[in-house]
Structure 1
Amino acid sequence: MIKLAEDIKKLVPSFKLGTILYHDIVIGESPQMLKGRFQLFLESLKLDAEQLSVSDNPGVQEWRKTFKMLSMDPSRYRPSAEALLRRVYSGKDIGLVNSAVDVNNFFSLQYGVPIGIYNAAALSGEVEVRLGSPEDQYEGLNGRLMNMEGKLLSSDANGPFGSPIVDSKRTMTSPDVTSALQIVYLRPSMSTEEAAKLLAAIEKMFIQIHGGSAESFIVQ
């Protein structure tokens, strides 16, 4: 169902993705357990900010390097995990959206990797992670029309719908979504064993909160 384009494999031979497909889930407001855990984690990050900079984060370092290997400017188009961490380190809040997005943000900050969550029912055909062509664009969650030429993106039969920069409105999750696809942009240096443990941790929390069932894969 999900494949990685050959040009990405050539440019970043150790590139790997984690994918989790969820079935029969219930998305809503995040439970108090997640809110409390997230808030404690954010407070610890704010304490870290007194001694560390965003560039000290290993995940941020690795994804900036990966973007450069793909000829993407990480200072102009920041990996989403870095953008989140910059908000926290500058003292800004990470707003709660819904339980699916909040879980994504929690793990993205914890591991320093971009993570996308998509309405699986809005996807059509095979999903491919590739570099954008001149005609690739979509309306982002930030409300902007995103020109995706030369940028790392995910696409289906209807065109691009997500990236480790910002995702599209077309496949966004909401309380009426009952099946979802999660794409975890793993750090290339991660071993397959480390990647499997990370996916298992994400899947476990997601199912605890949303119910349903899941299946996960590593794509490389």
Structure 2
Amino acid sequence: MLEATIDSTITTTYPTLTFGIISYKSIAISTSPQMIQGRIRYFQEVLSVSLEEGDLTDIEGIAAWREVFKAFGIPASRYRPSHEALYRRVKKGEFLEAPHSAIDLNNFFSLEYQIPVGIYDASKLSGPISFRLGVAGETYEGLNGRVFQAEGKLISADQQGPFGSPIVDSVHSSVQTTTTEAIQIFYLNPALSADEAGQLLSRAAQMFTQVHGGEAEWIIVQGDSR
């Protein structure tokens, strides 16, 4: 059974912040099937055309997460939400190519739902997940090749410490083609209702298991005020 909590360091500042978690078991990750590659490439091409005019910060999902960062004093111009970084690449015509199917779908979900999404190897995590602010001295090696300074940032953590964030995820918990159990975290738009969040997670889980097989279960993690 999935277990996760939101720490008071988050709820006192942003009580409506909500997270979704999907747990996958007995999955098989490999190169994305041609049909999926074609669908994702076409989606990015259409998105790129739609982004030619206008400011990315006018996109509802990007604006929403910039507001979240602002509430926590995280400068979004320096630490961009991960989905905004993806949007900026697509806007430039830098279409995303992933090393395997799990990252392909993770990027697709992030672009489609306009939110940060992270996927992690469950075998590398221990204990329940907590969503909190990083404290002094907490760091990890990020997938961008830089050391991520977690202090004051929104993070996802297990008993060993932080392993992910809506900015960049850790190398330690990254998913590989050998991964058979995974955890996918959706840093949801605070404007979503519980019903909308549930529909989003259900659709994502169904699409992921259609490609990778296995089983999925999901939960919505929210503060006491919701």
TM range (shorter): over 0.9
Q: Distance in 2 between matches of 1:149 and 1:2?
A: 20
Q: How many residue pairs get matched?
A: 220
Structure 1: which 5+ residue stretches go unaligned? none
What is the CA-CA distance between 1:50 and the residue it aligns to? 2.2
The match for 2:30 is 28
Question: C-alpha distance in 2, partners of 1:25/1:169?
Answer: 20
Match of 1:106 in 2: 108
Matched, 1:9 2:11: yes
TM-score of the pair, normalised by structure 1? 0.98
> In structure 2, what is the equivalent of residue 209 of structure 1?
211
Q: Could you tell me how far apart the structure 2 residues matched to 1:10 and 1:27 are?
A: 39
1:38-61 CA-partner distances (Å, limit 9, x unpaired): 111111111112223211211000
Shift of 1:75: 0.9
Distance 1:97 1:5 in 2: 34
**C-alpha separation between the residues in 2 aligned to 1:62 and 1:130?**
19
Q: Is the partner of 1:138 in helix, strand or coil?
A: strand
Shift of 1:166: 0.4
* 1:147 equivalent in alignment to 2:149: yes
In structure 1, C-alpha distance between the alignment counterparts of 2:50 and 2:87, rounded to whole Å: 11
Alignment of 1:1-220 (within 5 A): 1-220=3-222
**How many angstroms apart in 2 are the aligned matches of 1:16 and 1:51?**
31
Percent same amino acid at aligned positions? 47
Counterpart code for 2:109: F
Task: Tell me which amino acid in the other structure corresponds to 2:28.
Answer: V
Q: Which runs of 5 or more structure 2 residues have no equivalent in the other structure?
A: none
The separation in 1 between residues aligned to 2:152 and 2:9, in whole angstroms, is 12
What's the offset of the Cα at 1:183? 0.4
Q: Where do 4+ consecutive residues of structure 1 move more than 4 Å?
A: none
